[in-house]
Amino acid sequence: MKKILLFMICCAVVISVSAQEYERHFQRNKEKKTLNFRPAEKMLSTGDYNYKLFSYNSDDNYINCYYSYDASRRLISVYELIPAEYELIDSIRYNEQNQMVRIDGYQLMGNYWKHVYYLEYTYNNQGLLASRSNYNNFDGVFELGGTYEYFYNSNGQITRAELTMSDVLYQAVDYEYYNGFLTSEIWSYSDFFSSSDELFPSERIDYTYNNQGNVSLIEYSSYDGVGWDLYSETTYTYNEDGNCTEVHSYDANQNETERSIFTFDNRLLEETLMPWTPELTRPQTYNNKNIYRIEEYWALDVNFTLQYVCDYEYNYIDVNAEVGLEDVEANPLTLSPNPTESTLTLSGLEEGVYKMEVMDMSGRIMIMDNITNNSLINLSSLQKGCYVVKVSNNDSIYSSKVIVK
């Protein structure tokens, strides 16, 4: 019983700030069940960047997430907003070695920001993440929820993760590799109702790769006491540039349960500063060459029918731009009429000349032109379907969808 209580405490904060989001916008976490492991030196943003990810937002304004960086190009805060439901800020600290050592979580409670949890990280001599401990605020007192410890092979690849709560080993994950590629994870748990620390296998995750070394299939199986039963799988599709264009998840009966379709632009991922903490599940960069601007997201509704949920729009700005939460503004771009049969008016823009691109859902540029506010665009050459209209200048980039009927 004590183990059950400790597990509930360990999860309490995550549930309090995220449950409502997951009701409608539950994120694809299957391939992110463990932390995002990277050597500490890769946490430093020392690349020759031209852009940085400033935010991602759902086009229905249900979820909005903003990133702030310091002069050293380190991520220092993540602000997450679901209007009328919750606001959350993660404040990030580093040590003298520029290693991320603590994240403090604050949630808006009425008219004040409450310090609801914090996470602490330690590192081994190779600069790899050695432990993660989470502390939750209960009536003004922070209590340890649990501690993960991580173990690596000589190549710096994680081989095992162990979760301990109240000095009791609760969970372990074992990682297997072949030719340097992660091939499987075995998840084991202790028996809540037993005083023994023995762990029992529960779940297996298997990875398959294409000829380019990118993940093409992830299979999820549960242990029934005798063998492994496949209950879900996720497939990954790539274009000729190596960008992951589609992700589809299926249940054991091959019914699709989740879908993401990505639209890319011409900017390179390697020249873009991306946010990173061990906790973030978005954005997922896979091994992309380019950055994606739009993620069309589908999920099961309450009737277990796959439905379109929203477009996640990813917004990039100049890497040297100094912006904060006070600079957050809504997308001013307005397309009308929408849907349209042939012509489209672009309005809501400030004065000046903008580069305008109309792309299909695979990211191909179908129309490109220079425009100003209230320009009229002829779409009669396009086939019926859904397209992304992107306008940009030296200061801003905006995008929105249009339906050609």
CATH of the domain at 384: 2.60.40.3080
> What does the pLDDT look like over 198-214, one tens digit per residue?
899 999 999 999 999 99
> What does the pLDDT look like over 138-157, one tens digit per residue?
988 999 999 999 999 999 99
Residues 6+ apart with CB under 8 A from 165: 3, 6, 7, 10, 145, 146, 147
Least confident of 58-62, 185-189, 278-282: 58-62
Q: Which of 306, 327, 348 is the last residue of a domain?
A: 327
Per the prediction, the chain carries an average pLDDT of 83
Mean pLDDT within 21-50: 45
| Shared-domain flag, residues 68 and 106 | yes
| Shared-domain flag, residues 323 and 191 | yes
| Shared-domain flag, residues 270 and 395 | no
Q: Which of 327, 360, 394 is the last residue of a domain?
A: 327
Cβ atoms of 404 and 382 within 8 Å: the answer is yes
Q: Give the residue carrying structure tokens 């809504």.
A: 330
- Total structural domains within the chain: 2
β-pair type (397-404, 365-371): unpaired
Residue 271 is classified by DSSP as: G
> What does the pLDDT look like over 265-319, one tens digit per residue?
999 999 999 998 888 888 888 889 999 999 999 998 878 899 888 899 999 999 9
| Shared-domain flag, residues 346 and 319 | no
Exposure string for 157-195, b = 16+ CB within 10 A, e = fewer: ebeebbbbbeeebbbbbbbeeeeeebeebbbbbbeeeee
Put simply, whether the predicted model's pTM sits higher than 0.85 gets the answer no
- Residue 4 reports pLDDT greater than 50: no
Interatomic CA distance for residues 110 and 114, integer angstroms: 9
> What does the pLDDT look like over 360-397, one tens digit per residue?
755 578 899 999 999 999 999 998 877 878 888 877 77
| Shared-domain flag, residues 8 and 143 | yes
Q: Which of 308, 327, 346 is the last residue of a domain?
A: 327
Domain boundaries, position 342: 334-404
> What does the pLDDT look like over 108-138, one tens digit per residue?
888 788 999 999 999 999 999 999 999 999 9
| Shared-domain flag, residues 340 and 207 | no
| Shared-domain flag, residues 389 and 295 | no
| Shared-domain flag, residues 346 and 219 | no
- Residue 321 reports pLDDT greater than 80: yes
| Shared-domain flag, residues 154 and 257 | yes
| Shared-domain flag, residues 71 and 149 | yes
Cis peptide before 275 (omega within 30 of 0): no
- Residue 29 reports pLDDT greater than 60: no
